[in-house]
């Protein structure tokens, strides 16, 4: 039996296993999940892009109170197209049958969102062990300040060119996120439809192209996937849906149930819930609105229009109108606790690697 070594991720962050718990945006993260993964030897993560600056300060303090292990807090880098977001009457009318079905009014104005620059400033001051980013590359000043404070920075790439840009910017590691992954696609150099590279095609190309540690993400939910990613040149893996399915995540009961059902075998990339392509389990809303995939407004407009629908359906445990984010390996997820799942991933990976080396 071989021992699963932490490799370069261990050098960067002192983890025991080369396994990162994926950061979940939209309220799916929890302090309990990130802390349990960190305490068990992985890199715990928390998706903080909806939190206010004060909320991020509090978050880091709560994580430090629950773990001495390494953790990362994730932010979304805003894109220029998001600055002048507004909706039209046609955008509301398109969703009117769903507002009426759930008995909720259409929103009159978009909710206030925290400013990214203020979030980054607060997070730098709070000083988590690592800051991770999706949707783009942070400004040079943010990266310089992170280096000054000893904060590890992790970027997310969906193509080789994005990985090269992340390395050139001076970030410490890159997540190679394949199109198998659940949730939002983080493409930023080319349109998402031109950046849909599968994980096991993307990982070896990124590993050949960059010198910084590569973290494989997308379609990895058991030890076979971890072993495959490491064999293809990844230094570590990031597991999202598998940890989302554990008891410590902030996924709703209906979402967790969907992940453990036969429905998890079918996922699709859709713009319908947020205006940005994201992978989730097919449900009634996706089927009903399929003809409007190219009509709905971009993020964050569609995301704001869908907020009352998602909230009402979630409160009533109605899976037909909530975004059931999931990757293509969702059917391999399992119920249980995060620490147990992490240890199982490590043990399974060791068994697979040992078997391969003994042939």
Read off the pLDDT of residues 174-228 as tens digits, 9 standing for 90 and up: 999 999 999 999 999 999 999 999 999 999 999 999 999 999 999 999 999 999 9
Greatest Cα pair distance in the chain: 65
pLDDT score at 125? 98
pLDDT score at 2? 53
Domain chopping of the chain, boundaries: 7-357
CA-derived radius of gyration, the chain: 19
Percent of the chain with pLDDT over 90: 92
β-bridge partners, 78: none
pLDDT score at 1? 42
Sheet holding 267-270, edge to edge: 183-184, 278-281, 267-270
Structure tokens at 167: 């390395």
Spell out, as residue ranges, where the chain has pLDDT lower than 50: 1, 359
pLDDT score at 207? 98
Task: Answer whether 134's CB lies under 8 Å from 184's CB.
Answer: yes
β-bridge partners, 278: 184, 270
pLDDT score at 356? 67
pLDDT score at 70? 97
Q: What does the H/E/C string look like for the chain?
A: CCCCCCHHHHHHHCCCCCEEECCCCCCCCCHHHHHHHHHHCCEEEEECCCCCHHHHHHHHHHHHHHCCCCEEEEEECCCHHHCCCCCCHHHHHHHHHHHHHHCCCCCCCCCCCCCHHHHHHHHHHHCCCEEEEECCCCCHHHHHHHHHHCCEEEEEECCHHHHHHHHHCCCCEEEEECCCCCEECCCCCCCHHHCCCCHHHHHHHHHHHCCCCEEEECCCCCHHHHHHHHHCCCCEEEECHHHHCCCCCCCCHHHHHHHCCHHHHCEEEECCCCCCCEEEECCHHHHHCHHHCCCCCCCCHHHHHHHHHHHHHHHCCCHHHCCCECCCCHHHCCCCCHHHHHHHHHHHHHHHHHHHHCC
pLDDT score at 249? 97
Task: Give the closest residue to 190 by CA, choosing from 271, 133, 136, 269.
Answer: 136
pLDDT score at 181? 98
pTM listed for this prediction: 0.96
Task: Give the closest residue to 249 by CA, choosing from 311, 346, 337, 168.
Answer: 337
Cβ-in-10-Å burial (0-12, 13-18, 19+) of 52 comes to middle
**CATH number for the 7-357 domain, one of 3.40.50.300, 3.40.1670.10, 3.20.20.70, 3.60.21.10?**
3.20.20.70
């Amino acid at each position: 039996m071989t021992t699963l070594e932490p490799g370069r991720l261990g050098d960067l962050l002192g983890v025991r296993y080369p396994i990162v718990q994926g950061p979940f945006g939209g309220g799916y993260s929890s302090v309990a999940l990130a802390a349990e993964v960190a305490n068990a030897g992985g890199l715990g993560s928390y998706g903080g892009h909806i939190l206010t600056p004060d909320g991020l300060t509090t978050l880091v303090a709560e994580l430090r109170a629950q773990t001495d292990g390494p953790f990362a807090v994730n932010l979304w880098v805003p894109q220029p197209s998001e600055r002048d977001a507004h909706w039209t009457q046609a955008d509301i009318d398109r969703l009117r049958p769903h507002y009426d079905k759930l008995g909720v009014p259409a929103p009159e104005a978009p909710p206030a969102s925290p400013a990214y620059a203020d979030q980054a400033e607060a997070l730098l001051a709070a000083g988590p062990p690592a800051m991770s980013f999706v949707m783009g590359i942070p400004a040079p000043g943010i990266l310089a300040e992170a280096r000054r404070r000893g904060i590890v920075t992790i970027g997310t790439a969906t193509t080789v060119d994005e990985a090269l840009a992340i390395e050139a910017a001076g970030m410490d590691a890159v997540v190679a996120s394949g199109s198998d992954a659940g949730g939002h696609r983080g493409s930023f150099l080319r349109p998402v439809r031109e950046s849909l590279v599968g994980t096991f095609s993307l990982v070896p190309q990124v590993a050949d192209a960059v010198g910084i540690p590569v973290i494989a993400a997308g379609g990895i939910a058991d030890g076979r996937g971890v072993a495959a990613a490491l064999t293809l040149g990844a230094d570590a893996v990031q597991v999202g849906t598998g940890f989302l399915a554990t008891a410590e995540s902030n996924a709703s009961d209906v979402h967790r149930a969907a992940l453990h059902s036969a429905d998890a075998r079918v996922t699709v990339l859709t713009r319908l819930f947020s205006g940005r392509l994201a992978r989730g389990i097919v449900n009634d809303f996706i089927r009903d609105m399929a003809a409007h995939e190219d009509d709905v407004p971009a993020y964050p407009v569609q995301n704001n229009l869908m907020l009352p629908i998602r909230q009402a359906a979630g409160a009533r445990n109605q899976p037909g109108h909530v975004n059931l984010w999931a990757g293509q390996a969702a059917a391999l997820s399992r119920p249980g606790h995060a620490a147990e799942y992490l240890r199982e991933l490590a043990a399974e990976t060791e068994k697979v690697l040992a078997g391969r080396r003994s042939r």
